[in-house]
Chain A
Amino acid sequence: MEAQRTAYHKIWDAHRVAGDPLQRMLMYVDLHLVHEVTSPQAFAGLRAAGRRVRRPDLTLAVMDHLVPTWERTRETPDPVGREQLRQLSENCAAAGIPLLDLYHRRQGIVHVVGPELGLTQPGMTVVCGDSHTSTHGAFGALAFGIGTTEVEQVLASQCIWQAPAPTLEVRVDGQLGQGVTAKDLALGIIREIGVAGGQGSIVEYSGTTVRQLTMEGRMTVCNMTIEAGARAGLISPDQTTVAYLEGRPAVPKGHEFAAAAERWLSFASDPGANFDRQVRIDASQLSPFVTWGTNPSMSVPVGARVPELAELRSEAAREAARRALAYMGLEEGTAIEDIHIDRVFIGSCTNGRLEDLRAAAAIAAGRRVSPGVRAMVVPGSGAVKRAAEEEGLDRIFRDAGFEWLEAGCSMCLGMNPDILSPGERCASTSNRNFEGRQGAGGRTHLVSPAMAAAAAVFGHFADVRRLEPAELGVAAKEG
């Protein structure tokens, strides 16, 4: 039989409950993450059918999508949102599902919190009613977003019907240049393969560049997999994965840790395993990217210009660009560095982890937010916030004129009070530049955390490679 298997196939084979693995099988779910926005109808469905939550001990709920980022002592402003939060509390209490509510010190964005607690481990299946569940693939887990009806199905059965998916290897080799981050790699890949380039597939990221990424960088790359249309993205586990997990609350300790680590590593793709498709990316050719349009594939290097319509290959692409430019209020051929911004958002499940905040702080240190720009930093979780404060990053941001806020999804999707006004232009470290994503009429440009900080300082996009990043340890101590 086939000796070499991919990580995806190993996880697939290990989670068959019933059905035909070549057609459609019932797959067991090791971890189900739940949040306030996509779960109320699922719990209501269970109640209506008189069913119970099968495995509350494999389920974790978090309040993140619509929570305000102001002090927790202030009330959530809108009554409809409050009702959603209330229902989550009630549903979790009734079912015995652990909940990290608004006031819990571990509260944060579900895709930041899961890994932080050590709940996401190699070889697991992870689902959540949120498309950015692909983030957890960084650990060599099979992780994907589901809809509310499937949330109900998983709550009731701890299983999900799945058909096998084709595999796509995205192999990245070469050295990322100075100032070029995991976010730029993600944007570069989507630029290369397109927003439907991974459609229906399971992407595995491989190659020397991926191996050198930290777990936080890997999470950024896997997070954006959904923006290329893939069902899931993952990275085979290695010693970087094992080292990240050691000591985390949900990870076994002592001699059990060694056994767990051995088990984890067994889920890595075998050398020579076959993928249905392969794409190669040369990391040394990538730059810090800035999106100019209304989907994440519409990006150019910071030193370039918004494309001329005539350069685009198809009429469909020209039509999409025409529409995007009209929405974004941009002229074709405008130099990216000439685009002025009103707002900056640093945070989200894409770029709201400690490493992201460090990279932004290194640019912000000793500088000032440009007059007229409002810049926000929203840590991905309470734990990220505390760790950043221990390092003095909060002071660096505050001294530079950034707002330092409480954890949540915030302006990534604008379900809380943090939204753009019509026409406002934002440099954002989030994942989607769709029309109205951050507020009706708002204009979003996706960038890395360092690029967002640089845009805050200059009031327009600027090549972060021309800026001297501060030695953070020193800056923090001096501050």
Chain B
Amino acid sequence: MEAFTVLEGLVATLSRDDVDTDQIIPKQFLKSTGRAGYGKACFFDWRYDAEGHDRPDFELNCPEYRGAEILLAGRNFGCGSSREHAVWALAQMGFRVVVAPSFADIFRTNALQNGLLPVALADPVCADLQLRARRRDGYRLIVDLQAQVVRDREGRKAPFQLDPFWRECLLSGLDPLGMALREEAAISAFEQARSPLLPTTRHRWE
């Protein structure tokens, strides 16, 4: 996992609630068997018209947001499908952080697994940042995971919470699977003690 400590980046806004992962990456792009190549497809139906041109009415197409690394989103961001492709797409579109009042559960875990930092800030704080970033004059935020705080150059400062497990993983680039496999003895002991009544999938299914 790629380590994350501190990032200063341009902020782009997507000011709507309940953005679902079907919008972030529509189904036709889920047939790929790789982890790359999703950036161009991110927000496909909102981003492009029928001819494949950028739609001027879609916020993230604003030229002033080009190169943004921080996405400022609405409540319940990433709801719906568990497709991790949504996180790959956002990361490959260039985002390293998503700031929102709240995140859907599976999306948040998927984001953390990929080093895309989900930062939850209170509604009024997000609303204030939205106002600021929507002026489209190059507004930037500094996201400091070590100090667990989001700041700007104008003196705004908002602390955020992150599960210590994930904070540790992100700061040091630790891999949760590697950490799980280090518990081999405990896993084996658990398996020894499992009830023999539990089912297995080894059957001749008829």
Q: Considering the chains assembled together, what is the distance between the CA atoms of A148 and B83 in angstroms?
A: 7
B201 touches A98 (CB 8 A): yes
B106 within 8 A of A: yes
B163 touches A199 (CB 8 A): no
Provided the pairs A153-B177, A196-B75, A435-B22 are in contact, do residues A57 and B201 lie with their beta carbons within 8 angstroms?
Answer: yes
Q: Which of A74-122 contact B (CB under 8 A)?
A: 78, 80-81, 83-84, 87, 97-98, 100, 104-106, 117-119, 121
Q: Considering the chains assembled together, what is the distance between the CA atoms of A100 and B84 in angstroms?
A: 24
Given the complex, which residues of B lie within 8 Å of A251, measured CB to CB? 199
Q: Considering the chains assembled together, what is the distance between the CA atoms of A156 and B182 in angstroms?
A: 12
Question: Which residue of the partner chain A has the closest CB to B84?
Answer: A147
Cross-chain pair count, CB within 8 angstroms: 201
A312 within 8 A of B: no
Given the complex, which residues of A lie within 8 Å of B147, measured CB to CB? none
Where the two chains meet, the residues of B that have a C-beta atom closer than 8 Å to any C-beta of A are 16-18, 20, 22-23, 26-28, 30-35, 45, 75-76, 79-85, 87, 102, 104-106, 109-110, 113-114, 163-165, 176-177, 179-181, 183, 186-187, 190-191, 194-195, 197-203, 205-206
B106 touches A156 (CB 8 A): no
B190 touches A17 (CB 8 A): yes
A118 touches B199 (CB 8 A): yes
Apart from A117-B205, A119-B201, A413-B81, 14 more pairs, CB < 8 Å: A23-B165, A57-B202, A66-B31, A148-B84, A149-B84, A149-B113, A195-B79, A199-B105, A200-B105, A229-B104, A249-B205, A251-B199, A316-B17, A320-B18
Provided the pairs A80-B31, A118-B199, A149-B113 are in contact, do residues A231 and B105 lie with their beta carbons within 8 angstroms?
Answer: yes
A161 touches B165 (CB 8 A): yes
Given the complex, which residues of B lie within 8 Å of A87, measured CB to CB? 33
| Interface residue tally for chain A (C-beta within 8 Å) | 87
Given the complex, which residues of A lie within 8 Å of B163, measured CB to CB? 24, 163
A18 within 8 A of B: yes
Q: Considering the chains assembled together, what is the distance between the CA atoms of A378 and B144 in angstroms?
A: 50
Q: Considering the chains assembled together, what is the distance between the CA atoms of A440 and B75 in angstroms?
A: 24
Provided the pairs A131-B81, A131-B82 are in contact, do residues A196 and B203 lie with their beta carbons within 8 angstroms?
Answer: no
A28 within 8 A of B: yes
B206 touches A432 (CB 8 A): no
Question: Which residue of the partner chain A has the closest CB to B75?
Answer: A196
Q: Considering the chains assembled together, what is the distance between the CA atoms of A119 and B84 in angstroms?
A: 26
Given the complex, which residues of A lie within 8 Å of B75, measured CB to CB? 196
Q: Considering the chains assembled together, what is the distance between the CA atoms of A160 and B181 in angstroms?
A: 11
Given the complex, which residues of B lie within 8 Å of A435, measured CB to CB? 22-23, 45
Question: Which residue of the partner chain A has the closest CB to B83?
Answer: A38
Q: Considering the chains assembled together, what is the distance between the CA atoms of A249 and B201 in angstroms?
A: 10
From B180, B186, B187, give the contact of A161 (CB < 8 A). Answer: B180
A179 within 8 A of B: no
B84 touches A38 (CB 8 A): yes
Closest chain B CB from A1 CB (angstroms)? 22
Where the two chains meet, the residues of A that have a C-beta atom closer than 8 Å to any C-beta of B are 17-18, 23-24, 26, 28, 30-31, 37-38, 40-41, 44, 54, 56-60, 66, 78, 80-81, 83-84, 87, 97-98, 100, 104-106, 117-119, 121, 124, 129-131, 144-150, 152-153, 156-161, 163, 195-196, 199-200, 226-227, 229-231, 249-252, 256, 259-260, 263, 295, 316, 319-320, 323, 413-415, 432, 434-437, 440
Given the complex, which residues of B lie within 8 Å of A319, measured CB to CB? 16
A153 touches B109 (CB 8 A): no
Closest chain B CB from A260 CB (angstroms)? 5
Provided the pairs A157-B177, A159-B183 are in contact, do residues A199 and B87 lie with their beta carbons within 8 angstroms?
Answer: no
Q: Considering the chains assembled together, what is the distance between the CA atoms of A475 and B20 in angstroms?
A: 42
Given the complex, which residues of B lie within 8 Å of A106, measured CB to CB? 205-206
Q: Considering the chains assembled together, what is the distance between the CA atoms of A58 and B190 in angstroms?
A: 14
Q: Considering the chains assembled together, what is the distance between the CA atoms of A81 and B28 in angstroms?
A: 10
Q: Considering the chains assembled together, what is the distance between the CA atoms of A226 and B27 in angstroms?
A: 18
Given the complex, which residues of A lie within 8 Å of B16, measured CB to CB? 319-320, 323
A260 touches B197 (CB 8 A): yes
Given the complex, which residues of A lie within 8 Å of B197, measured CB to CB? 252, 256, 259-260, 263
Q: Considering the chains assembled together, what is the distance between the CA atoms of A439 and B45 in angstroms?
A: 11
Q: List 6 A-B contacts (CB under 8 A).
A: A24-B163, A57-B200, A158-B191, A163-B163, A250-B199, A263-B195
B187 touches A157 (CB 8 A): yes
Provided the pairs A157-B180, A413-B27 are in contact, do residues A434 and B22 lie with their beta carbons within 8 angstroms?
Answer: yes
Closest chain B CB from A411 CB (angstroms)? 11
Q: Considering the chains assembled together, what is the distance between the CA atoms of A106 and B201 in angstroms?
A: 13
Closest chain B CB from A268 CB (angstroms)? 17
Given the complex, which residues of B lie within 8 Å of A118, measured CB to CB? 199
A78 touches B31 (CB 8 A): yes
Most A-side CB within 10 Å, residue of B17, B31, B104: B31
Provided the pairs A250-B203, A434-B20, A437-B22 are in contact, do residues A17 and B186 lie with their beta carbons within 8 angstroms?
Answer: yes
Q: Considering the chains assembled together, what is the distance between the CA atoms of A80 and B34 in angstroms?
A: 11
B165 touches A163 (CB 8 A): yes
Given the complex, which residues of A lie within 8 Å of B83, measured CB to CB? 37-38, 147
Question: Which residue of the partner chain B has the closest CB to A264?
Answer: B197
Question: Which residue of the partner chain B has the closest CB to A261?
Answer: B197
